[in-house]
Chain A
């Protein structure tokens, strides 16, 4: 079974530029998550999708961050314009809900390391 795929793995941009990250979850997983992990901290949830609908985006800085999952499979996370404090690892994860016979166990991709200079 293929795991969660993310690209790119690394990205360096200047402040005020825009950037986009891509995630493809495990096949059959309806729930997809984007996390931000700042160095030395645990991951923080930015947005959660159930199929192509947003379940929780309460911690997403909506003035600069956006995310979509149009066909309920892969997803993109965009930052525009980027700030220095956006430097972090962006992790994508997927899971099966209880209703789908799962246990909410989350499977993570390798992450994208973003550096904003």
Chain B
């Protein structure tokens, strides 16, 4: 059974810092891995999707990496801003199955 773990559960940083959010998964047989952002009371916004054959994806100040063999992904946020404050969720789509499996998320607070 695929399990996804996100560390840390919560993170508070001053504005301008670079930061890394971690995601690990127990079964390396995945189609893709997706990072989402969730603002309080809102739905999920897709940030980056990494196919299993890819090593990383970049969008603006965000960079996500994938090491499928070790079951790890990181989301790197450069020059953090107060507007980045949200919950960040990692999810994997297993090769053998059809349900996206989510981690519990990392709550990020960027202080101005």
Residues of A within 8 A of B (CB): 4, 6, 33, 40-45, 48, 55-56, 91, 93, 98, 103-111, 113
Contact of B93 with A104 in the complex, beta carbons under 8 Å:
yes
Residues of B within 8 A of A (CB): 4, 31-32, 34, 36, 41-46, 49, 51, 89, 91, 93, 98-100, 102-105
Task: Determine the chain A residues whose CB is within 8 A of the CB of B51 once the complex forms.
Answer: 103
The 8 A-B residue pairs with the shortest CB-CB distance in the complex, in nearest-first order: A42-B102, A108-B44, A110-B43, A108-B43, A45-B99, A111-B43, A105-B49, A104-B93
Contact of B99 with A109 in the complex, beta carbons under 8 Å:
no
Q: Knowing A40-B104, A45-B99 are in contact, say whether A111-B42 is a contact too (CB < 8 A).
A: yes
Q: Knowing A103-B49, A104-B93 are in contact, say whether A45-B43 is a contact too (CB < 8 A).
A: no
- Chain B's interface: helix, strand, loop or mixed, by majority? strand
Task: Determine the chain B residues whose CB is within 8 A of the CB of A93 once the complex forms.
Answer: 44
In this complex, the member of B34, B41, B89, B100 whose beta carbon has the largest number of chain A beta carbons within 10 angstroms is B100
Contact of A105 with B32 in the complex, beta carbons under 8 Å:
yes
Q: Knowing A42-B4, A42-B105 are in contact, say whether A106-B98 is a contact too (CB < 8 A).
A: no
Contact of B43 with A91 in the complex, beta carbons under 8 Å:
yes
> Which one, A48, A56, A104, A108, contacts B45 given CB within 8 A?
A108
Contact of A106 with B46 in the complex, beta carbons under 8 Å:
yes
CA distance A97 to B46 in the complex (A): 17
Task: Determine the chain A residues whose CB is within 8 A of the CB of B104 once the complex forms.
Answer: 40-42
Contact of A45 with B49 in the complex, beta carbons under 8 Å:
no
> Which one, B31, B32, B44, contacts A43 given CB within 8 A?
B44
Could you jot down 6 A-B contacts, CB within 8 Å? A42-B104, A45-B100, A56-B98, A98-B31, A105-B34, A111-B43
Chain A residue at minimal CB-CB distance from B9: A40
Contact of A104 with B31 in the complex, beta carbons under 8 Å:
yes
Task: Determine the chain B residues whose CB is within 8 A of the CB of A104 once the complex forms.
Answer: 31-32, 93, 100
